[in-house]
Structure 1
Amino acid sequence: MSSAPAQPINVPAGAQTATVAAGCFWGVEHMFRRQFKSQGLYDARVGYIGGDEQNPGYRAVCSGRTGHAEALQVVYDPEKVSYRTLLEFFYKMHDPTTENRQGPDVGTQYRSAVFYHNAQQEKEAREVTDKVNKQWWKGAVTTEILPAGEWWDAEQYHQLYLDNNPGGYECPSHFLRSFPALGE
């Protein structure tokens, strides 16, 4: 079964979108929803981005042949949570030092990436990535920073997967790390 292009959700004017890939999207979605549910998160969707196949499905993406990453797209209120805060959380909740891998999950679909939606996001993504690479991950970050291309929602059974399957698989690399505040 193939996925479909993302359907716009009904959100207030001024909402912004952030898209990241950090391995298996089930745990990424679950962690972002828990962390930001009362801090301006309007929606979080899992899906596929960064590949060259139209209408990718889960099995095709997992084969590694489509070039897509399993990713999370959040729509948020920038008055309540900043893009920088979302990025810092992203770098704390997964291991950005293992190229095309998160724990036991291996393949390009599990890569670490920030997909920016405009020039300001690109600038912030590069700045935050540089800082976390120097201060937290000691030069080992392999995260890609790429323009957001076409987004494809994952199949419905992947949305809110860990809410609907409380004992479901969670990547062991997905946990919140304790790092000091980033310096300027």
Structure 2
Amino acid sequence: MKFPNSLLTSRSVIALLFCLTAVACNAAEAPTVIAAPEFDSPKTKGPLQTAVFAGGCFWGVQGVFEHVRGVRKAVSGYAGGSKATAQYDTVSSGRTGHAESVQITFDPAEISYGELLHIFFSVAHDPTQLNRQGPDSGTQYRSAIFYTDEAQKKVAQTYITQLIKSHAYQHDIVTAVSASEGFYPAEDYHQDFLIHNPTYPYIVYNDLPKINNLKHIFPDYYRGQPVLVNNSAST
């Protein structure tokens, strides 16, 4: 796989600096065990549905949901801004309004929207970090949920209220909930990045622990053989 040298340099160096101390590395591995949503959409047979979540660098979020049973596809991309500026180099400026996001296509008969949110808030990211996630900072790394209908909006807002009332986190939840007004897939070199680059320093320190946490905290949801954007690609 080929990707810009600047990407190799910036994220590798940042990840290595972030994890020079044991404290930082251990923090990256510590999940937050929280209760499942008390209110959720029922599992039902029907057409596939989509969910759009933003939780920092999309490599790790995509990698998590590619390992979740019931997910048919997870695509890295950009949400919250216009199509005209939905390119990595432009979004990285932090001035386009986009958030690095993942569009998840799932079977509602196998996994509910609330169950996806449970994983999102537990192991995919830290919803208490404002405009940052791990070593990455900027509005493009914000925590956000882009709902596709009113049912998703209600489940998301109700779950956040539940987590706040239960004091699930030591700090305030900063996850924004807004309507999905467009999702734009990221460049090909970003897709399935975790799967194709498991020894890349950024992935090792920031994202592989998320997969391990998914496996141990949600064994019923964990899928060892991930679903890929490019189904012909080998793992």
Q: Same fold (TM over 0.5)?
A: yes
Secondary structure of 1:21 counterpart = strand
Note the C-alpha offset of 1:55. Answer: 4.6
Matches within 5 A, 1:28-177: 28-34=61-67, 36=68, 39-52=69-82, 54-93=84-123, 94-135=125-166, 136-138=168-170, 140-168=172-200, 169-170=202-203, 172=206, 175=210, 176=213
Taking a change above 3 Å as real, the CA distance of residues 44 and 134 of structure 1, as seen in their structure-2 partners, is same
Note the C-alpha offset of 1:163. Answer: 1.0
Looking at structure 2, the residues matched to 153 and 110 of structure 1 have their Cα atoms a distance apart, in angstroms, of 16
Taking a change above 3 Å as real, the CA distance of residues 79 and 53 of structure 1, as seen in their structure-2 partners, is closer
Aligned residues: 165
Note the C-alpha offset of 1:58. Answer: 0.5
Note the C-alpha offset of 1:28. Answer: 0.6
Q: Which amino acid is 1:86 matched to?
A: L
Select the structure of larger CA radius of gyration: 2
Note the C-alpha offset of 1:162. Answer: 1.1
Note the C-alpha offset of 1:172. Answer: 3.0
Q: TM-score, normalised by structure 2?
A: 0.65
**What percent identity do the matched residue pairs reach?**
41
Runs of 4+ displaced beyond 6 Å:
none
What RMSD over aligned residues (CA atoms) do the two structures have, in Å? 2.1
Note the C-alpha offset of 1:133. Answer: 2.5
Structure 1: unaligned runs, 5 residues or longer: 1-11, 180-184
Structure 2: unaligned runs, 5 residues or longer: 1-44, 218-235
Structure with more of its chain in strand, by fraction: 1
